[in-house]
Amino acid sequence: MENLTIDGKRLWDSLMEMAGIGATAKGGVCRLALTDLDRESRALFTRWCEEAGCSVGFDAMGNIFARRPGRNPDLPPVMTGSHLDSQPTGGKYDGAYGVLAGLEVLRSLNDHGVETEAPVEVVVWTNEEGSRFAPAMIGSGAFAGVFDLDYAQNRTDMDGKTIGQELDRIGYKGEGCGGRPVGAYFEAHIEQGPVLEAEEKTIGVVTGAQGQRWYEITLTGQEAHAGPTPMARRHDALVGAASIVTAVNRIGTSFQPDACATVGMLICKPNSRNVIPGEVFLTVDFRHPNDGRLAGMDQALRQAAEVAAETGGLELKLEEIWHFGATPFDQACVAVVKAGAERYGHSHREIISGAGHDAVYMAKAAPTGMIFVPCENGISHNEIENATPEDLAAGCEVLLHAILEKAGAR
């Protein structure tokens, strides 16, 4: 079969239209999971897929599946997709690119009148970001059997609303989740790091993802008046938290190369300028491609948190709420992605994903691969996130190749 084309302008225009839903003044997107804006983006995706002749359904986690039939309905589908939820100050491409590249593949197959052997499904996973509801990647995790449905539907946001309640509210709570075979899964995504751009490579052939651990820590001290309370008598939870923040950063730098360590959220109570903080909640995000090193970071954190609590006379609650190990992708799928880059003449290199992706959980349910394209200055989870139409189109060509290889086409 000759090299089929995709329509890069159509892909770009769809991305820009999707980015209008939840658009921020600084050019990014705020589309938190299961909000009204998320519902709007789901409705637009569904309309586009129906216009492309797909049947569209969703499961008990609100994961949406748009299905283009194959010649043989008994074959498991080849699946591709990503997420439409974003960070509070997210960009236009994180997640939306993978979803709309999948849609562009379907539209291109229609344009060329190609019938695949296996059905092709484009999926929108619920709550990939883990920003509104922790942990991240929970829709794909439930589909892959990593989380049971009850646990997944009962995760709460900061206001105590559950995923299940919010799915009901926006009309996206279907029946059942996962437990069906998937022939292969591919996900296209911006790299979200600087490697491809620095090396002037168009395609990242993703060989796997690094391991990740998330923690929630609460330090409890005693609220007291900022004036009359002598320094020696204080139990200041924020001072303890500050030393944990510093320790997390130190752990990140001392487990180089490759470690990443972040405190991204800190809630100080009562947050009044003349009250000594009585309670602080903070989150820790640790990543490392080597599971042993990640375990070492875990130990170092526990030690540092205990020292911080003891020094400040504080009560410590430290909970690891999420953990997945380093995840290699299927070698045959990795090879298909590489072959796609070569077929379309795009420069490429192998790369390990620094970010978590739905592909990490799908790798437990199906042979899985990922395709990265560069993003400007390696910046993501930021409203200034940017990528070129040419690179996005190139990644979509590689995705088309991968899907045709795995779904089979004459």
Give the residues lining the site for ligand GLV (CB under 6 A).
129, 136, 355-356
Long-range pairs of 197-200 with CB within 8 A, sequence gap ≥ 24: 197/374, 197/375, 197/376, 197/377, 197/378, 198/378, 199/349, 200/347
How many CB atoms sit inside 10 A of residue 274's CB?
7
Which option in Mn ion, ligand GLV, none does residue 375 bind, with CB closer than 5 to 8 A by kind?
none
Q: Which of residues 93-112 bind Mn ion (CB under 5 A)?
A: 94-95
Please tell me the distance from the alpha carbon of residue 278 to that of residue 301, in angstroms, as a whole number.
22
Closer residue to Mn ion in complex, CB, 32/219: 32
Cβ at position 55, least distance to ligand GLV in Å = 29
Cβ at position 357, least distance to Mn ion in Å = 6
Which option in ligand GLV, Mn ion, none does residue 95 bind, with CB closer than 5 to 8 A by kind?
Mn ion
Q: Which residue is nearest to ligand GLV (CB)?
A: 355
CA Rg, the chain, in Å?
22
Asked whether the beta carbons of 405 and 335 are under 8 A apart, the reply is: no
Asked whether the beta carbons of 374 and 196 are under 8 A apart, the reply is: yes
Q: Is residue 122 helix, strand or coil?
A: strand
Which option in Mn ion, ligand GLV, none does residue 136 bind, with CB closer than 5 to 8 A by kind?
ligand GLV
Task: Give one DSSP letter per residue of 268-333, joined into a string.
Answer: EES--TTEE--EEEEEEEEEESSHHHHHHHHHHHHHHHHHHHHHHT-EEEEEEEEEE--EEPPHHH
Closer residue to Mn ion in complex, CB, 243/353: 353
Please tell me the distance from the alpha carbon of residue 125 to that of residue 362, in angstroms, as a whole number.
11
Closer residue to ligand GLV in complex, CB, 136/142: 136
Buried b (16+ CB within 10 A) or exposed e, 206-218: bbbbbbbbbbbbb
Closer residue to Mn ion in complex, CB, 346/381: 381
Cβ at position 97, least distance to Mn ion in Å = 8
Closer residue to ligand GLV in complex, CB, 98/356: 356
Closer residue to ligand GLV in complex, CB, 4/266: 266
Q: Which stretch binds Mn ion (CB under 5 A): 44-52, 86-94, 326-334, 359-367?
A: 86-94
Q: Is 130 in the site for Mn ion (CB under 5 A)?
A: no
Q: Which stretch binds Mn ion (CB under 5 A): 20-28, 87-95, 179-187, 238-246?
A: 87-95
Q: What are phi and psi of 150, to 5 degrees?
A: -60, -45
Cβ at position 160, least distance to ligand GLV in Å = 23
Which option in ligand GLV, Mn ion, none does residue 144 bind, with CB closer than 5 to 8 A by kind?
none
Q: Is 85 in the site for Mn ion (CB under 5 A)?
A: no
Token pair for 115: 């019938």
In angstroms, what CA-CA distances link 73 with 47, 65, 114, 365?
Answer: 23, 15, 16, 20
Q: Is 356 in the site for Mn ion (CB under 5 A)?
A: no
Site size with Mn ion, rule: CB under 5 A: 2
Cβ at position 284, least distance to ligand GLV in Å = 13
Between strands 78-83 and 211-220, the pairing is unpaired
Interacting residues with Mn ion (CB under 5 A): 94-95
